[in-house]
Chains A and B, each alone.
Chain A
Amino acid sequence: MIKFVASIGRTVLAILASVGRISTYVGQTLMHMVRGPFYVKEFLQALLSIGYYSLPVVGLTAFFTGGALALQIYSGGARFSAETVVPSIVAIGMLRELGPVLGGLMVAARVASSVAAEIGTMKVTEQIDALVTLSTHPMKYLTVPRVLAATLSVPILVGVGDVIGIMGGYVVGTTRLGFNPATYLHNTVEFLEFWDVASGLVKGAAFGFIVAVMGCYYGMNSGRGAQGVGQATKSAVVASSVMILAANYLLTEAFFSA
């Protein structure tokens, strides 16, 4: 019995220690963001690889999700003779929840893994030590550009994904469910409010921050060898995905609980 309780205690302590280390890392990242030097070239490269190259996967995810959502809402709404709400619910669902969350998760899978693997490999091949001996702070050179790029580009990705997701619903609605195209578009826009759009974009920024910080943190703390880098990559994806879902709940509470 004591062994069982001790094992729970060890796990809890390990989790708390991990939370403490990640919080410290986030604090250091924020501190380095406001103090130079700032590496513009690395920031632009990160913007390209995190933002631009994630567009296809986020766009495809949004398109199919929008289409499936239209089918589900039509089928569910038919039980209450409420099929006409499909355009509005697709739009609200994509903008508030599915666009940012699925976009964030896709970016987590693509970006957190590659960032953790890249930085982890740099660590085990002593490239991080080399940066230090070349008078370059690894946080400023590796972490800050990636975190800034993800925080700025993921909301844009989410915005584009929202539009593509709504288009997915539109295509299914007008080709499969018999909606009039003009009416569908009118109903999509008619009931939207400012915070439907803004909340999704704020969530995107928060998710981008989480993904990049987790990728960098686990990369910087990678263990030795291929196994260490593999473990760091897996941990980065798992941690960022869980944190995205938790942050999504908290942000939804903050925006819409009243």
Chain B
Amino acid sequence: MIILDNVHKAFGPNKILQGVNLTIPKGESMVIIGGSGTGKSVTLKSVLGLVTPDSGTISVDGINVLDADRDAFLARFGMLFQGAALFDSMPVWQNVAFRLLRGSLKRPRDEAREIAIEKLRRVGLKPHVADLYPAELSGGMQKRVGLARAIAADPEIIFFDEPTTGLDPIMSGVINDLIREIVVEMGATAMTITHDMTSVRAIADRVAMLHDGVIQWTGPVKEMETCGDPYVDQFIHGRAEGPIEAVR
């Protein structure tokens, strides 16, 4: 279970998180929605320890993320980055098997390659892709490789940062379906940040709306449409009028 308790974070005078409270039960898929610049990525990176909160606590299964042994802690996570963040100096299979080629999860090279090819197959990519370089792949294929890398070490918790940004609607649908299938199949806890409402409906068990540095509303995805929260209502229907100020 991931618990964020009154988390604050500012960059200089810019207060990004102003008391975020959120609980993600084990095995649940939580999607955080909100406009650009509302602190969704900062929230996600705070859980991973990539950003240190100014105050408040974040715990995973009762252990404060700042007190945890970093290697053991991060070994429990997989993450799909917005731009896939593949290492362009190495072929696809080494990207996927990165964690299996070094550190505490190190396996023999042949075994790591086999696992990488299996994970690539799981995300719908053929084995020949394994020896290509990231620059030779389309945006959608890069996302799939990023997804394969995120699940390569069978993590307990998977984070998805804007998984469909920059993809066409059909490829977005494919990635959404893959994420849902994989999360259910692995029984993993998932945390996704997005402003793509199609993704939200496809991926989420629960939804949290982040605005002005706090969680404005959280609840099951099936209640999202009828929750009556003015922030959620404006956001999911894409209205210019409402409590969320639209910069023109």
Contacts and interface: CB of A to CB of B under 8 A. Distances in A.
Interface in A116-139: 122, 125-127, 129-130, 132-136
Contact of B103 (A37, A126, A129, A132): A37
A202 B16 CA distance: 49
Interface stretch (B2-10, B72-80, B192-200, B205-213): B72-80
Given A133-B48, A135-B71, A127 B102 contact: no
Contact of B104 (A126, A129, A135): A135
Contacts of A134: 74, 98-99, 149
A125 B161 CA distance: 13
Interface residues of B, number: 25
B102 A37 contact: yes
A135 B45 contact: no
A136 B102 contact: yes
B216 interface: no
Contact of A135 (B75, B81, B82, B88): B75
A53 interface: no
Contacts of A125: 83, 85
B83 A126 contact: yes
Contacts, number: 48
Interface size class of A (residues with CB under 8 A): 10 to 19
B50 interface: yes
11 contacts: A122-B87, A126-B82, A127-B85, A130-B85, A130-B86, A132-B48, A135-B71, A135-B99, A135-B103, A136-B102, A136-B103
B15 interface: no
A54 B236 CA distance: 56
Q: Which 8 A-B pairs have the closest CB atoms?
A: A130-B85, A126-B85, A135-B74, A133-B79, A126-B81, A135-B71, A127-B85, A134-B99
Interface string A130-168: 101111100000000000000000000000000000000
Most buried by A among B85, B99, B102: B85
A39 interface: yes
